[in-house]
Amino acid sequence: MKSARAKDKEKIKDSEIIGISFDGRKDLTRALIPDSTGKLHPRIIKEQHISVTAEPSGRYVGHVTPEEPVHPVKPAMKEAEAVYHLMQQNDLTESCMILGGDSTVSNTGWKGGAIANLEKLLGHKCHWCICMLHTNELPFRHLIVGIDGATTSNVAFSGPIGKLLGSVNEMEYQPEFKALPGGEDLIILPKIVLDNMSTDQQLCNAVKMAVFHQISEK
């Protein structure tokens, strides 16, 4: 792994990189936590992980875990510092002219967002490349909430449609269902890809296959 990282770092140095993009999430992570005596104990904690890619190639640069902020420091500042240190390690601070991320306030706040803090650390202004797909999700989210109600947790729904999702695999096939026109043609995936899909990916693929077969029969 050390050899692979060293080779990849050389490839990054040889690349023409004009910007970086970053995105993160909190994952359940196994960690060693000290007790009052200093003895370490294995624990599962929620930890922020941020992945960074180089632009325009999209090549993976690395991932970072920001330090926990201490009041009055904001989480966005610690996120910016972690990304900046990774950029320093890969000599990207001077060439970087584009900063990309999603449209959450923690990223795009004009004064205290992660991107604004990154600009301060870099010492120059950058072009902000904000993901519009993330922004476009918001109207549909409000539409679904208006039609079917809000979620009651990260895995539960309050509306009649959402409550049916848990039993979708047991539902009877409806042969009269009319598929929506348009969309991309179905790609037949090999078994090794299907076996490594998440449950959500397998469900989406199954729905698309059912629609495809219905269109083919017609």
Contact criterion met (CB below 8 Å) for 117 and 80: yes
Q: Which residues contact 132 (CB under 8 A, 6 or more apart)?
A: 103
Q: At what angle do helices 75-89 and 114-122 cross, to 10 degrees?
A: 40
In the chain, where are the structural domains located?
2-132, 152-217
How far apart are the C-alpha atoms of 83 and 95, rounded to whole Å?
15
Instruction: Please give, one letter per residue, the 3-state secondary structure of 184-210.
Output: CCCCCCCHHHHHCCCHHHHHHHHHHHH
Q: What is the pLDDT of residue 52?
A: 94
Helix (H, G, I), strand (E, B) or coil at 51: strand
pTM for the complete prediction? 0.67
As a CATH number, domain 2-132 is 3.30.420
Q: What is the pLDDT of residue 81?
A: 96
Q: Which position has the token pair 């050899």?
A: 3
How far apart are the C-alpha atoms of 42 and 30, rounded to whole Å?
7
Q: Going residue by residue through the chain, which has 218 residues, state the pLDDT in tens, using 9 for 90 and above.
A: 788 777 777 777 777 889 999 999 888 888 888 898 989 999 999 888 999 999 888 888 888 999 988 878 889 999 999 999 999 998 899 999 999 999 988 999 998 999 999 999 999 999 999 988 878 888 888 888 888 888 887 777 888 888 888 788 888 877 887 777 766 666 777 888 878 777 767 776 676 666 555 555 55
Q: Which position has the token pair 């009052």?
A: 36
Contact criterion met (CB below 8 Å) for 48 and 26: yes
